[in-house]
Structure 1
Amino acid sequence: MKAVKQAVIFLALVCCLAACKKNEPEAVVDTPQTFCNPIDISYRFCLDEPSRREAADPSIVWFKDRYFLFASKSGGYWYSNDLVNWTFVETSEIPVEEYAPTAIAIQDTLYFLASSNEKSTLYKSSDPLSGKWTIAREKLERPVWDPAFYLDDDKKLYLYWGCSDVNPIYGVEVDYKKNFSFIGQPKELLRADTANHGWEVPGDNNTRKKQAPWIEGAWVNKHNGKYYLQYAGPGTEYKSYSDAVYIGDSPLGPFTIQAHNPFAYKPGGFAAAAGHGSTFADPYQNYWHIGTSTISVKHMFERRLVLYPTFFDEQGTLHATTKYGDYPMIMPKKQISNFEEIFPGWMLLSYNKPVQVSSSIDSLPASYITDENMRTYWSAQSGNAGEHVVLDLEKTVDVYAVQINFAEHNTKIFGRQKDIFHRYTVEYSDNGTDWTMLIGQSKSETDKSHPYFPLKQKIACRYIKLSNVQVPDGNFAVSGLRVFGKANGDLPAKVTNLQAQRNANDKRSVTLTWDKAANTTGYVISYGLAKNKLYQSYMVYDATTVTINSLNAKEKYYYTIEAFNESGITKSETVVE
């Protein structure tokens, strides 16, 4: 009898466990490590008014088995082992309040140089994790703005600089064994050519044709014996801010423009722009481009950082992939050959979805939370605990990741301060009434304004609720509550009737039109100089036409278009010349 009772109890426990297991979120098989732009670091409040955050003009270098990231006006720098998780080093021993800092690793020493119009001082450290630096040279032979170093295979060192709407990019060889003295005179390496290079014309969509561009942000890579001199333009406040590249046979040229340009360009989507950055290889020999994304609402220099996979094709063409570049991407643990290997297919589930909020300021409505525009934001009437956002995904979907993009409204913070935090919770629900905790940050000790949370287990839900516990200052405000996953519905229809009309009076410009595809959230136009080299992209939502003004006037282009929705992507086999 005792054995029978034990068997009955055992069976009951099995049934209970099975029932509980059935109601648990389904595990994501082999959950990859992912990231999402803008990158998730502690963006600092600037020292001057208005109160806003900034990081821009990034340089990443590999030193002693770590990446080191330097960016403008950040109060220090970051290091990482994986390009995803970054640790901040605060220091006052180098000029971290200057713009466009750069670094170079030479043997067991890391050297640091920032922009200056008065005196360029070079610093060095054998232990940058400690924040300790000393002066390597008090004053270079001339002050430089937007500097960048390149150390060649023969151990010769070169310095590049330039940031102007008049002057060119310069370069010179430097003898680091003799106190970093210049060898010879600086050379002019490149100038703007707006008559042929549409991407150099200022404006969000390269339309300010009478305005001179800012040409800046040099960086050099070497690949298969060729030297790639990249530069930024037309201005950091524009969505068209991008990096283009010239190629030469020696570190100081002469250089010839690469036909495919700009090589890093992202005018559409949530995190727009990709200019003034650095290109580097990881330990698996994958290349990456880290650049600057624009907000430029509170101030022209209100900016963030973005990271994109980058490739050299068989002919040596350098190109960064920015397609779906502000959706989650996998950080690879091996060498990859294309973007598809690191795109998990997690689609945006939150675009233009209904939002209910605890309160709002009339001029900053709740609809801005889901409009996929980092330049707009909703603000609650206060920064009090309990202010909240309820996002209705309109049907039950599989959620894999959440990105929260906070916006500072009515803040009075200046500089990097201790004990300021974003504290909040994220819950999910099937009915909008009964809530389950998803992300608990009510006791967070970090101040991150673009936190990204890939879930260890995907969850099926309809509603997402973001609730404030504490803000650093001012009002509880959000520029984007972005939810990624799969809706498990029908894919969009194929796009038909794509037409490309090159402007006969201005070959830098093309207008594309197409028929609206059923069941579609948006479109991505891919284009390039050959049918198998459609390296550039342009993302649009709720539109069936776009004018692109960033072309090379001397080149022929090919175009294709794909439709996407919450369930996935439908590509087209049609390529239009």
Structure 2
Amino acid sequence: MSVFRLLLLWLLPGISAFAQKTYCNPMDIGYRYNFEQLNERISYRSGADPVIVTHKGEYYLFVTISGGYWHSKDLSDWHYVVPDKWPFEDMCAPAALSVRDTLFLFQSTFEQRPILYSVEPEKGKLQFYNRWLPRLPKDIGPWDPAIFHDPDTDRWFMYWGSSNVYPIFGAELDYHRRLTYAGPYQAMLWLDPWKHGWERFGPNHADLIKPFVEGAWMTKHNGKYYLQYGAPGTEYNVYANGTYVGKEPLGPWEYAPYNPFSYKPGGFMTGAGHGNTFQDVHGNYWNTGTPWIAVNWNFERRIAMFPAGFDKDDQLFSDTRFGDFPHYLPTGKWQQKDALFTGWMLLSYRKPATASSTRDTLRAGFVTDENPRTYWVAARNKGGETVTIDLEKTAEVRAVQVNYTDYKNTIFNSDTAVYTQFRLLHSADGKSWSLLADLTREPKRDRACAYVELPQPVRTRYMRYEHVYTAGPNLAISDIRVFGKGTGPAPAVPGGFSAVRQKDERNADIRWNKVPGAVGYNIRWGIAPDKLYQTWQVWNDQPSSLEIRALNVGVPYFFAIEAFNENGVSVLSPIISVK
């Protein structure tokens, strides 16, 4: 190949030679078609209960009912691995752990199942570490297990539980007897929704159904043990991760007053529960979660990962502020919790959209409403169908995310026919169009949440999605999200901000005055003025009030607000103390 052709290929948009420097939640992996609802003939791509482990300087992602797992060298480019030995049936909410040169893997079960191991997980080579863990009493599990190795003591433990009847359990494992139980299992923690507002079930914690606890995970930091759990229910916007802290791996435990430590109830991707905490190769902490989709089934989900860490007081936190906007991939150890946020703002919210065709009332306008449960459907699933978005002003475009929906799908196997291909075009005047990215040039793969970072920023006004291929009978897209920077000023600080705790201390009423030109607001709060780790994102076309029902009884809080638009983020408002 000539030098000229090599240079031309390098310069063309959409060529895989460009290594993305950013990522955007939900994660851009090849979500598999899920078999949980096969008997009901509901077909959808889904991913849930993620565990990411760092092993030999690389990353492995395990997800419920995926027929395999994913391998990455950079937390962005994930390659699907089909193992040579898969135990009996597909894995649900698996446990994974890297210790020295070995990766351990175990599935959720109420039966007798083996722990597997691999010294070559990148090749999909799995072996039996033991044949069976002894059977536990009926309904005890271990479901949603987590395996923990204490590097300081060389002791091994397992934690598990998924129920609104039983607690999170824990037990020591005997390494010298191939990781069987070393002693009786013990109750670790129970939910207490009467004191912990965020543990209440339902949308916005407003349902009286008894909540669920699940998704155990253990992290040791600075000599302390952080036993993490997901609650109150995976199928709602308020699914979150909490933690108890102890001095010993089986307790006793102290409830952390800053709970939940990972929480994302507002914005495009809602729900941050049932994941794990891991460190990347640079030593940065991350927390994973399983955001909520619920188009075809209540438990239809995606995968997200958020920068996390421990502050100077050893408080565990996860940074979900702008958690579904583009973030930089880590290249070293970061010092500030929001250091990875690119500052690329959402340019497409509620912007006019037109389509080449429309099925029934499933109109193009849904692709800019930041709601994964509404979607545009084309009259036909064929190449050449388009959606055009008018950003209304010229802006600097840096990235685009295309989120597909499995509308009335009939696919029940993620085989070689399941992939997505499209082109992105742009125009300054809506008449003359130029290619922005071409996703037909890369190897065929399925990208239900395709994230495309541009090699260089492009100043433009109109964006167009041009369809090439997706499997199934329908072309359906929930959201086309355009990111970059506008040319105007950031919004002013919202005035009239107030936070009043209700008689029920688990709740607080938040109010503010809307700001001209704002796209939305971040309500931020925490247990100290310098610990505003919680964020609830609200759009400007929604009411300028919010009831937060996620507080802990007896814990003082501090609240503030910021506004954002296409151009940036306002200064944070004065911080309010609420007893």
TM-score bucket (shorter structure): over 0.9
1:105 positional shift: 2.1
AA partner of residue 431 (structure 1): D
- Kept in 2, the 8 Å contact 1:69–1:77? The answer is yes
**Match for residue 329 of structure 2?**
331
AA partner of residue 259 (structure 2): N
Residue 205 of structure 1 aligns to a residue whose secondary structure is: helix
Residue 129 of structure 1 aligns to a residue whose secondary structure is: helix
The CA distance in 2 between the partners of 1:340 and 1:117, in whole Å, is: 41
1:572 positional shift: 2.6
Trace 1:95-494 onto structure 2 (pairs within 5 A).
95=87, 97-142=90-135, 143-153=141-151, 154-208=153-207, 210-444=208-442, 445-494=444-493
The CA distance in 1 between the partners of 2:421 and 2:178, in whole Å, is: 49
Report Cα offsets for 1:514-554 as digits up to 9, x if no partner.
Answer: 11112111000110111111110100002311111111122
**Match for residue 59 of structure 1?**
51
The CA distance in 1 between the partners of 2:454 and 2:461, in whole Å, is: 16
1:31 positional shift: 9.8
- Kept in 1, the 8 Å contact 2:494–2:573? The answer is no
- Kept in 2, the 8 Å contact 1:204–1:267? The answer is no
Report Cα offsets for 1:269-313 as digits up to 9, x if no partner.
Answer: 111110000001112111001111111221122100001000211
The alignment's TM-score, normalised by the length of structure 1, stands at 0.93
The CA distance in 2 between the partners of 1:261 and 1:467, in whole Å, is: 44
Report Cα offsets for 1:32-91 as digits up to 9, x if no partner.
Answer: 711000011000011223000111101111222211110101110011111111111013
The CA distance in 2 between the partners of 1:443 and 1:334, in whole Å, is: 31
1:433 positional shift: 1.4
- Kept in 2, the 8 Å contact 1:120–1:144? The answer is no
Residue 546 of structure 1 aligns to a residue whose secondary structure is: strand
**Match for residue 521 of structure 1?**
519
1:129 positional shift: 1.6
Superposed CA RMSD in Å reads 1.6
Structure 2: where are the runs of 5+ without partners?
1-11, 136-140
The CA distance in 2 between the partners of 1:574 and 1:418, in whole Å, is: 55
The CA distance in 2 between the partners of 1:42 and 1:31, in whole Å, is: 18
Figure out how many residues of one structure are paired with residues of the other and give that number. 548
Stretch of structure 1 that moved more, 149-158 or 31-40: 31-40
Report Cα offsets for 1:385-427 as digits up to 9, x if no partner.
Answer: 1211000001111001111111122221113211322111110
AA partner of residue 193 (structure 1): D
- Kept in 1, the 8 Å contact 2:505–2:551? The answer is yes
1:155 positional shift: 1.2
Q: Is 2:494 aligned against 1:495? A: yes
Identity fraction in percent: 40
Aligned match for 1:69, one of 50, 61, 64: 61
The CA distance in 2 between the partners of 1:161 and 1:217, in whole Å, is: 7
AA partner of residue 46 (structure 1): N
Residue 202 of structure 2 aligns to a residue whose secondary structure is: coil
Report Cα offsets for 1:427-469 as digits up to 9, x if no partner.
Answer: 0001111110111123551111111111111001110110111
AA partner of residue 298 (structure 1): N
The CA distance in 2 between the partners of 1:377 and 1:155, in whole Å, is: 51
Residue 183 of structure 2 aligns to a residue whose secondary structure is: strand
Structure 1: where are the runs of 5+ without partners?
1-23
Stretches of 4+ aligned residues off by more than 3 angstroms: none
1:382 positional shift: 1.4
The CA distance in 1 between the partners of 2:147 and 2:111, in whole Å, is: 19
Report Cα offsets for 1:102-141 as digits up to 9, x if no partner.
Answer: 1122332221101111222211222112212122222102
**Match for residue 84 of structure 1?**
76
The CA distance in 1 between the partners of 2:112 and 2:266, in whole Å, is: 38
**Match for residue 8 of structure 2?**
none
The alignment's TM-score, normalised by the length of structure 2, stands at 0.92
- Kept in 2, the 8 Å contact 1:75–1:416? The answer is no
The CA distance in 1 between the partners of 2:265 and 2:302, in whole Å, is: 14
Report Cα offsets for 1:189-226 as digits up to 9, x if no partner.
Answer: 00010001111111120001x21111000000011100
